[in-house]
Amino acid sequence: MAPLQHPSRLFALCYVLAMFGAFIAFVPLGALILPQKIASITGIAALGGPVRALSWLLVGGGVMAGVGNIAAGHVSDRFYRRRGNRRQMIAIGLAVVVITLAALGAAESFIGMLFAILAFQLALNILLSPLVALTVDYVPDRQKGAMAGWLGLALPAGSMSVTILVAAGPIGPFAQTAFAGLMVIALVAPLVWLWPVPDRISAAVASAHDDQGARGTPGLARNFALAWVARLLVQFAAAAILPYLYFYVADIARPGAGPAGIAEGVGILAFAFAVASIAGALGAGWLSDRFARRQPVLVTTAGGVAVAMLLLATTTNWTLIVVAYTLFAAALGGFLAVDSAFVAQLVSASGRRATLLGVMNLTNTLPGIMAPAATLLVIGDSVGATGMLIVLKISAGGALIAAFCASRIATPSPAIRLG
């Protein structure tokens, strides 16, 4: 049986950079660009204020993302079976993401922004779906934790891009989206252009995987369901704070000094998030590989998210907010990295891996609907800050449930040994 080639360092570098680009495409939108654009729209009060308007955009985008990722995963699997790789679909995704970013930057009305967000979310998932599947396609199980840790740096990279945009001063939303588009091209293009991936798994190995998938993996459905619920609840916590960070700083932290002070506060928290996420993702990924047990790390990091969200919901002290947000970032980065490695290991025997990853990706998109919807339900006409705090407390409880679900997960048996 032919061995599965280990990923080269060039592949690892291009892959990680491409994931950075995908996250830079969307993280600055929710944290900075969309709130600023919404605040500048005349007549936004008629929509219930900026928090409500942003929530409606996030709900619409979340619905499109959920549908788009499953569909994109199905198409990505067809590309893989017919062409032997997912290169062309990644290239298509790159092109449509840049086009829709430009449309977002040019939108000048709420309706225009809504249609642009819907198109962007579909485009983003055309790019993300095949990118995520590359871990399952080419990375051995014993290296998935480390690779997931490096890929987990994509979220802090996106957060760092927010800091850069803040530091650039008042350049305007169109220039900000243009910057994001250029960064996406620069970071994703090397993977598409060079395509330094290992050869596709030999027919003998693929057949062995298919045989295992046909027989069924003991505990697969149970483990997949527990991992699905745990990630859903942790991502709900992320969706409760990340898109609303600008308004959280403005209405709860209240750093003063007007819009400039708010932007500076957002920049500080974004920088803390980036640094802490790097440490959390790399550290947790390494630990889960080192001890070949991912479940204890998932429990610990989910618990960390719960503690951080409770602190963010109960304090107005700026120093404690920074500490809590840093803890949140480290725990979130660690959880997502290890959970991604676990799920990649779990679905590696399936010929529909990208489709299954699309189902798992609902745990990323559904919270993007649930958190804004919860915010819309609990806020009144003038108590947006109170509504945000209620949702943060709910998310803290959800993260505790996620920790319990993670504690019930059994580490998958070692995958088929190749070679």
List pLDDT tens digits, range 20-72.
999 999 888 877 788 878 877 766 655 666 777 877 888 888 888 888 888 88
The pLDDT-based confidence of 381 (bands split at 50, 70, 90) is very low
pLDDT of 187 higher than 50:
yes
Q: What is the pLDDT of residue 38?
A: 81
Question: Does the pLDDT at position 19 exceed 80?
Answer: yes
pLDDT in the model for residue 184: 95
Which range has the worst mean pLDDT, 87-91, 221-225, 359-363, 365-369?
Answer: 365-369
Using the Cα atoms of residue 156, residue 158, residue 163 and residue 168 in order, give the sign of their dihedral: positive
In the predicted model, is pLDDT for residue 95 greater than 90? Answer: yes
Question: How far, in Å, CA of 21 to CA of 385, rounded?
Answer: 32
Could you give the percent of the chain with pLDDT greater than 70?
84
HEC secondary structure over the chain: CCCCCCCCHHHHHHHHHHHHHHHHHHHHHHHHHHHHHHHHCCCHHHHCCHHHHHHHHHHHHHHHHHHHHHHHHHHHHHHHHHHCCCHHHHHHHHHHHHHHHHHHHHCCCHHHHHHHHHHHHHHHHHHHHHHHHHHHHHCCHHHHHHHHHHHCCHHHHHHHHHHHHHHCCCCCHHHHHHHHHHHHHHHHHHHHHHCCCCCCCCHHHHHHHHHHHHHCCCCHHHHHHHHHHHHHHHHHHHHHHCCCHHHHHHHHHCCCCHHHHHHHHHHHHHHHHHHHHHHHHHHHHHHHHHCCCCHHHHHHHHHHHHHHHHHHHHCCCHHHHHHHHHHHHHHHHHHHHHHHHHHHHHHCCCCCHHHHHHHHHHHHHHHHHHHHHHHHHHCCCCCHHHHHHHHHHHHHHHHHHHHHHHHCCCCCCCCCCCC
CB 93 within 8 Å of CB 126 = yes
- Can you read off the two tokens belonging to residue 47? 């929509």
* Higher-confidence position of 360 and 41: 360
* Residue 364: predicted pLDDT: 78
In this prediction, residue 173 carries a pLDDT of 76
Of 46-50, 60-64, 86-90, 369-373, minimum mean pLDDT range: 46-50
Number of neighbours of residue 413 by Cβ within 10 angstroms: 10
- Residue 49: left (phi > 0), alpha (psi -120 to 50), or beta? left
Provide the sign of the torsion angle of the four alpha carbons 141, 69, 93, 284, taken in this order: negative
Question: Does the structure show a pLDDT above 60 at 149?
Answer: yes
- The structure's pTM equals 0.71
The residue assigned the tokens 């062995």 is 208
Q: What is the pLDDT of residue 147?
A: 84
Tell me: pLDDT of 131 over 70: yes
Residue range 109-126: mean pLDDT, rounded: 91
The stretch 167-176 carries a mean pLDDT of 77
Closest CA to 365 of 60, 75, 52: 60
Highest mean pLDDT of the ranges 267-276, 336-345, 349-358, 389-398: 389-398
Whether 416 shows a pLDDT value over 70: the answer reads no
300-354 per-position pLDDT tens digit:
999 999 999 999 999 988 899 999 999 999 999 999 988 888 888 887 766 677 7
